[in-house]
Each structure stands twice: as structure tokens, then as C-alpha cells.
Structure 1
Amino acid sequence: MGLIKRKRVLGSGLALAVAMGVTAAALMDNGAEAGPRIATTAAAADHTPRLRALLHRLTTVDGAPGALAEVRNRHGGAVLTSGVANVSTHAPIHRDSRFRIGSMTKPFVATVVLQLVGERRVALDAPVERYLPGVIRGHGNDGREITVRQLLQHTSGVPDILEYLPPQEVLEDPLARHDIRDLVNVALAHPPTFEPGTAWRYSNTNYLLAGLLIEKVTGHAYGEEIRRRIIEPLGLRETYVPGDAPAIPGPHPRGYVRPGEDAPLMDITAINPTVAGPAGEMISSGTDLNRFLDALVRGRLLRPAQLREMMRTRPTGNPDGRAYGLGLESRPLPCGGRYWGHSGDIPGYGTVGGATADGGQATVMVNIGPNGPDAQDDGMKAAVQTALCESRPHERRHAPEGTRP
């Protein structure tokens, strides 16, 4: 789910449920045949062969059927694609593709909560119990001890629903509808992973709860608030909160999952996204994600005080320097400074996006997930970092390591 952050979680025993007949070797051949395609504007000249090579590697060595990278800076944009949108027809990736964005939904949800903070309808350091009385209870979980900030920053200690929602259930019945509260109750039937505020651990349950909080405070579903507060003001015409609609509107690649290391691919394009809910159900495009991240990082969606809170990060223990704010990650750039963004996995798709304060944006998508190799994750992040470095003004590309963009 968007939701799904763990890798290789699907047992090879599920192969009997997925007889698509596409092998990894055939998939790699398809990617090699397709090669990187480029649709560009004035910014295209900035993109060296390294970015193209990274995209090509994603669809060959790393085993993704197809990949897309959309890059933009103040001078224009470029769309690069590699591989195929459909392993049966070998159709290429459409440059205007929509796709499921998984946990990149979380910055949207966090932005709405922080807008409510700016409106004084929510207090960041208030207990969640104030807004969701009695919801977080039992097995050592207590909403009176957990703050709104801790939900958004993954420091609440609430158990992750993914630990208790068998992936087999999703693959065997991808069109099943899930209720947010039911998913929360499944997770909270287990003890917390740590005392609130004492550690950091990613938990999708935090954002299921954040979605419930938005509904309780506003009287509207969290998706309605995202549409009203973010999608419509920014003119995101390719971004949706689909609810229980299983289709992806507009041009899109097929989404695939490999249920075991040597299992054939399964087409899981159609899925009921309520299985991810506010933790990862949204659909978007490279164009729209770049526009959203740029608007967020450059202060168009939040008041200065709330944006500062969102960007107050804590280390995650990741060796790549990843730090987590309130629904927003930061990572160092190899050319100096940092970028802000998120990643997302959901059955069928993987996405990584980032933006810098000086106007660079990059989004990378592959149409396989969530159980790709670690190298695939690394390749997507490397592609985003390369794109952002190549998109920066020349005089800033070699800024001292550690400076903020």
C-alpha cells in the first residue's frame, strides 16, 4: 500500500495466485529494447547521460518494466522515460502518465493538518485524545500520551498496520474495501513499539489516524479537504484522492507486483485504494507532484510558522542522512545542500519525489512495487538527486556539502 514501505514481503507461495507468465529475464529484455525516451523543453540540455543511464538501469538490471522521470527548474522541464507501460503490448511509458503515489500521500495529509494548526483548530503538541477521544486505547496504546506532532513525525510508537495486514490478502482480493477505523483497530490490537516521543519508527497507522483527525475536526473526509485546500488551489489536474474507485483516470502504465523472488509478474493496476487510505491512496503525475512539492517547500501552502515546524526534522538512523520532519523528508544532495520530499510504495508502483528551495523539482516513478530489490530504491533516489543537482544553477552545483539550498 502507500502504506507499503517494506520490501520483499510477499511470499513465493503466492505464485499460484498470479500466473501472468512474464519472467524477469523477459522483462529486462523489454526494458533494454525500449531504452530511454526523452520529451523535453528548454531544460533538457542540462541533463547529462548519467540521469538517462540511471533510468535505463531501473528498467534493465533492477527489473522494473518501465520508469519515468520528470524534472523541472526555473528554465523549463524535461520528461524522460525508459522501458514499457505494458509488458504484454510493449507500449512505451506515456510522458503524461498518472500513477499511484503510495506514501507520497503523507505530505498532502500533513499539509492539511498543519493548515488546521495555522487556523488554530488543531494544536501540534496537544494529545490526540482531544480530537479522537477513545480511539487510541488498549494493549498499552494511549491517545492521552501521544501528540499530533508525534503522529506526523512517526514518533508516536503506535504499531504499523503493515505488520498485521498480510500481503496475501491484498493480492488475493485487491478490490476489497477497507475502512480506516477497522485498519486502525487491527494495528492497535497490538502493543506499541516504544514509548511516545522516545524513538523514531515509520508507521502507516500514524497517517490513518491523521486522516481520522482531519475528518473529526473539519466534518469532512480527509480527501475532500485535500481537494479543497491543495488540489484545486494549485490546479493539480492529474491528482486524485480516489476513495474506493479502483481505476486510474487518464493515461497510465500498468502496475505490476512480483509476489516472490522467482515468481511471474502480477498485473495489479486495479486495486481498491482504501487499503492504503490517508497513508497512501492518492494518484498523481510527475507534473503535479513537482508542482505540489515546489509550492510546499517554497511556502505557498503553509504559513511560515507551520512550514518551519514541518521542516524541523529528526534523524531516522538511515546511513544516507535521511531526516524526517512532519510528513516531509530531507536528504543531502551530492552537490551540496539538501532536498525535501518523500517516497511511496503501493502494489504496482514506486515513486520518489523531491524539491529544493531554489526551484528544482524531480519525480521518478517505476511501475512495479512494492517488493523490488533494494538497488531499485537506491536507483530511484539516485535519479532524483542527480536530476536536482543537474537542474541547479551552475554556480550552486558545487556548493559545500551540508549547506541548505
Structure 2
Amino acid sequence: MARKMIAVVAAGAVALAPVAPAFAGTGLEDRVERLTGEGGLAGAVARVDDGRRGFTVKAGTAERGTGRPMVGSDARFRVGSMTKPVVAVTVMRLAERGKVRLGAPVETYLPGVIRGKGGVDGRKIKVRDLLRQTSGLADFTQAADWSKIPQDYLAIALAQKPTPYGRFAYSNTNYLVLGMVIDAVTGKDFRQVSRELVLEPLRMRDTYWPKRGELGIRGEHAHTYGINPVDPGAGVVDVTRLPGYEFGASGGLVSTPEDLNRFWQGVFGGRAVSAKSLRAMTADPVAVGEKGWPPQARYGYGMARVRLACGTVWMHGGGVPGVSVLSGRSATGRRATVYVTGSAEGERHEHLTDAFEAAVCR
């Protein structure tokens, strides 16, 4: 599979493009409509929550060729790397219970497991390195053959050339390993642990982990359109049915815009983690410095700090074939999630970031 398409499979970096210059003249409705009009995407949804008020803007169709209106903000979609903030909060909840130490080597919890090319060694990598994307672990999605699943994704990553330890390098492998750490310290699957510690307490009732072999999306949802990683030569096709279980802790969740906004409210409102844990997640973010991210972006524990028109916003992006999403919270407490049922690249990418900025800032 081509490198470009592999990157879309579970990487939030795909959905975090440089933010467009300050805008003027049109509102959120126009920006969402531009995604499906000028942008040519099938459907787009923006959900905004501010205090007790909330509203939804949508455009396009839920299924090409049917005329069916686009679904609302309570319908489900694959969130891709918006999974990572949920996994990060799960790890912080375990740290609060003394089951995980953020400064401990990964070797403590996965003895002998992390040994790879170029001197990669779990005795040197700390849990917080995984959270902040500074471990040096190569991204398994860059080398996996998605026509052959399941695979040993960690083994694939460990056979690749590592990135420099201590420097930000976005890698889905970091969260793959965090899922393994959660499994090891709890004796349960990380999916169950995240449900118990994050999804259920925050009343994210429409969010779920796909089961092994499950291809469809439960409940109301839109069809999604993109390049199928198994057959990229076919061009843009309906990719609603995907093996979401394989995306795991790095990008496997299915959720709704309303649930994602509840997540941000819970994290920053004191219901998801303690004030001490939130400070740890946000106090010392590492400079990103990678192409495709806003110039001043910094990455904390499972979420990025960016500067938009309204100031500081903590957020994350996500992308799988057929979906691109941006979701986050402003310093004033406004939460917003915007997603499209297609891959947002190039000008579409700019339109998506423009719509998100309008949603979270206005």
C-alpha cells in the first residue's frame, strides 16, 4: 500500500494541517457547506457546545446517489486518532491508582518486549515518552500490509528504523504499546479498561470499540468515501466497512461528535482526571515541528496545543480511509468537533481546519 494511504489509516497527523490565515466574512454554516460544495466531499458535520448551549451544522448527503440528508451529531463515525486522547486519559486514571508510573521504563510493564532495530530498547523508553510521541518507535502503519490482517504490528514497527529518542515523531506504535501496558497492569483488555474508566464515567454512551472481525458501524451513520488500503488502485470508493478492530489503541474507536465534545468537557471539567493529572498532561508539551502541523503546535499527553484566532486550543485530529476529523476545546471552554466523510487533503484540508477554527472560536 502506498505510503500516503497508509498514513491515513490511523494517524491524526493527517488531519492536523497548518491552520488557514485569519478569516472574515462567512460563518460556520458557510464553511461547512463549502466542504461538500467547493470541496466535493459527500458529507460534513460540525457540533459546537458552549456552556449549556449546543448546536449542530451539517451539509451534504449521508450516502451518494440517494439524496439522503447528512446524519446529525448523534450519529456514529470512525474517529481515527481521536482515540489517542481517550487512551491517554485511561493511562492517567491508572496512574492515579498507582498502577502505572509515567516515569517508569516500559520494560517495567512489558519485560523483554520492546527490542528493535537501531537500539530501540524498552529499558530506555518511559511511559511518558509513549504519551508524548517521543519514544523513537517507528510507525507500524508505514510498513503494514493491510491486505493481510491481523499482523504483528509491534514486530513490524520494531523492524523499522527508529526516530531520534526524545524528539517528537508522530507514531501510532506509541499508542499500540500503551494499549499493551494497560493490558499488562490490569489483566484486562485496554478496551474494557477505557470503557470502565473513561467512556462510562463521561456518559459517552454512543462510543464503542469494534469487535474483532466487525466491519460495519452500529446504529445511524453516514457512508464514507476514500481509498481502500487493500485496493488503492480502485480509486475513491465506499469504505464504510473497515476492520476497525485492527486500528486498536491508536485509532479504533467509533464515536459521535456529541460524545467527543463530552470527552473534552470531562477532561477539562474535572470529571475525567484529577487537576494534578491534567497539569501533567498539559504542563510541558513537546514542540512538534513536523510538516502538516500548525507552526506553534506542541504535543502533551495525547493531545496537541495549538494557537488559533481565539487563543490556545487543546485538540486532536483523526483520519481513517473515508473520514477526517478535528476535535478540541478552547481556553474559554467551547468544545467543537468537525468531521467529513472523505479524506481531507490539500485544499480540502484547509477548508476543514477553517471550519474547525470557526466552530471552536466563534
TM-score normalized by the length of structure 1: 0.79
Structure 2 counterpart SS, 1:344: strand
Q: Deviations over 1:17-75 (max 9, x none)?
A: xxxxxxxxxxxxxxxxxxxxxxxxxxxxxxx9421121112112323111000111114
Quick one: distance in 1 between partners of 2:325 and 2:257?
Answer: 9
Partner of 1:363: 337
Match of residue 254 from structure 1? 223
Map of 1:259-270 to 2, 5 A cutoff?
264-270=235-241
Q: Is contact 2:227–2:239 with CA below 8 Å preserved after alignment?
A: no
- Do the aligned residues in 1 keep the contact of 2:13 with 2:318 (CA within 8 Å)? no
Show CA shifts across 1:69-89 (max 9, x none): 011111411111111111121
Match of 2:302 among 304, 324, 327: 327
- Give the distance between the partners of 1:258 and 1:53, measured in 2 at CA: 27
CA contact (8 A) 1:69 1:80 kept: yes
Matched, 1:209 2:181: no
Counterpart amino acid of residue 184 in structure 1 = L
Count of equivalent residues: 337
Give yes or no for contact 2:261–2:336 (8 Å, CA) kept in 1: yes
Q: Which residue of 1 aligns with 2:105?
A: 127
Structure 1 residues 254 and 271: alpha-carbon distance in aligned structure 2, compared to 1, 3 A threshold: same
Specify the structure having the higher radius of gyration (Cα): 1
For residue 290 of structure 1, report the CA deviation from its aligned partner: 0.3
Question: 2:31: which partner in 1?
Answer: 54
Q: Does 1:188 align with 2:195?
A: no
Corresponding residue number in structure 2 for 1:4? 11
Q: Deviations over 1:346-401 (max 9, x none)?
A: 122111101134331100011113xx3222222222212211221xxxxxxxxxxx
Change in 2 beyond 3 A, CA 1:70/1:133? same
Asked if residue 80 in structure 1 is aligned to residue 52 in structure 2, the reply is no
Q: Which amino acid aligns with 1:154?
A: Q
Q: Is the 8 A contact 1:102 1:344 kept in 2?
A: yes
Aligned residue identity for 1:249: R
1 CA distance for matches of 2:199 and 2:303?
18
Alignment of 1:164-175 (within 5 A): 164-166=143-145, 169=146, 173=147
Does the CA-based 8 Å contact 2:76-2:219 persist in structure 1? yes
Q: Name the structure 2 match of 1:300.
A: 271
Deviation at 1:7, TM superposition (A): 5.7
- Take 1:231 and 1:382, find their aligned partners in 2: how far apart are those partners? 29
Q: Which amino acid aligns with 1:281?
A: G
CA contact (8 A) 2:312 2:331 kept: no
Q: Does 1:349 align with 2:356?
A: no
Residues 290 and 361 in structure 1, CA contact (< 8 A), matched pair in contact too: yes
Counterpart CA distance in 2 for 1:165 and 1:90 is 37
Contact 1:154–1:201 under 8 Å retained in 2:
yes
Kindly indicate whether the alpha-carbon contact (under 8 Å) linking 1:141 and 1:191 is maintained by their aligned counterparts in 2: no
Tell me the amino acid that sits aligned with residue 330 of structure 1: R
Paired residue type of 1:114: M
Q: Secondary structure at the match of 2:49?
A: strand
The alpha-carbon deviation at position 134 of structure 1 amounts to 1.1
Per the alignment, do residues 262 and 207 of structure 1 end up closer, same or farther by CA in structure 2, a change over 3 Å counting? closer
SS in 2 for 1:217: helix
Residue of structure 2 equivalent to 1:338: 312
Match of 1:150 in 2: 129
Q: Which fold has the larger relative contact order, with Cα–Cα distance below 8 Å and residues 6 or more apart in sequence?
A: 2
After superposition, the CA RMSD in angstroms is: 2.1
In the superposition, relative to structure 1, how do residues 261 and 62 fare at CA in structure 2: closer, same or farther (>3 Å)? farther
From the superposition, tell whether residues 254 and 106 of structure 1 become closer, same or farther in structure 2 (CA, over 3 Å): same
Counterpart residue identity of residue 265, structure 2? D
Structure 1 residues 1-80: aligned runs within 5 Å: 3-5=10-12, 49-80=26-57
Given that residues 67 and 82 in structure 1 are in contact (C-alpha distance below 8 angstroms), is that contact kept between their aligned partners in structure 2? Answer: yes
Contact in 2 for aligned 1:178/1:274 (Cα 8 Å): no
Conservation of the 8 A alpha-carbon contact between 2:80 and 2:253: yes
Identity %: 37
Deviation at residue 264 of structure 1 after TM alignment: 4.5
Unaligned runs of 5+ in 1: 9-47, 391-405
Matched AA of 2:305: S
Distance in 2, matches of 1:111 and 1:228, equals 12
Q: Secondary structure at the match of 1:145?
A: coil
TM-score, length of structure 2 as denominator length: 0.88
CA deviations over 1:211-238 (Å, ceiling 9, x no partner): 0000000111110011111111121121
1:6 Cα shift? Answer: 6.6
Query: Which amino acid is 2:93 matched to?
Result: Q
Give, in whole Å, the separation in 2 of the partners of 1:243 and 1:141: 31
